[in-house]
Amino acid sequence: MTAVDGYKNRRLARLTEINNDNKFKLEQPFEYQVTLLGKEIADITTAKNYAISDANAAYNDLIARMTEYRNDVKIGLNNETDKVLRAIERGFTDHKKMEDVLEGMRIDFLQGVYLSGNVYHFDDDVYDLSVFDTIFDDFEYEIGHGTGHGHASQSYNNAYGGY
């Protein structure tokens, strides 16, 4: 019986070997797909992180440019104020009528300033502050459209850009 048992055991071992080999061959495509899925998830996470980084950089750049522009406008207004003050001081020195000096300057922010002798009046409602309502309209926060890369799903129209 040992020869028969040995022969049977060899056949069972070969059968088990073939069975394990077939199971391995069947599982490999699925394991490969799971591996690819893991890599794809990692690629998507990397792309997401790049997109977040790009959005943050674009936002910070926008804020920096708007702040710089606001500061430039403030400097311009301060320079204009200094010029007005120097003109008024010179008017006093030259004994000119101040109401004529102010009117002759024709400066926007002096709208609503009325002077008669030593008495002045400022009317807040005269100066139109809406001139500043659109001052930042030229700044855009435009990311993620894939413009220039062929990734846009529709034609890009700047008129409807991200103001």
Q: List, for residues 87-118, the tens digit of each pLDDT value.
A: 888 888 998 887 777 777 777 667 777 777 67
Mean pLDDT of the chain: 81
Judge contact between 113 and 34, C-beta under 8 A: no
DSSP line for 100-151:
HHHHHH--GGGTTEEEETTEEEE-TTTS-GGGGTTTTTT-----SS-TTTT-
- pLDDT exceeds cutoff 60 at 23: yes
157: tokens are 């129209």
Residue type, 121: H
Predicted pLDDT of residue 18: 92
Mean pLDDT in residue range 137-162: 57
pLDDT over 90 percentage in the chain: 22
Nearest one of 108, 88, 109 to 98, comparing CA atoms: 88
Nearest one of 141, 148, 160 to 61, comparing CA atoms: 141
Name the DSSP letter for residue 153. Answer: S
pLDDT over 70 percentage in the chain: 85
pTM: 0.54
Judge contact between 75 and 94, C-beta under 8 A: no
Report the half-sphere exposure of 122 (CA within 13 A, side-chain side).
4
Judge contact between 113 and 102, C-beta under 8 A: yes
Task: Summarize pLDDT for 40-93 with one digit per residue, the tens.
Answer: 999 999 999 998 888 888 889 889 999 999 999 999 889 988 988 888 888 889
Residue scoring higher pLDDT (156 or 107): 107
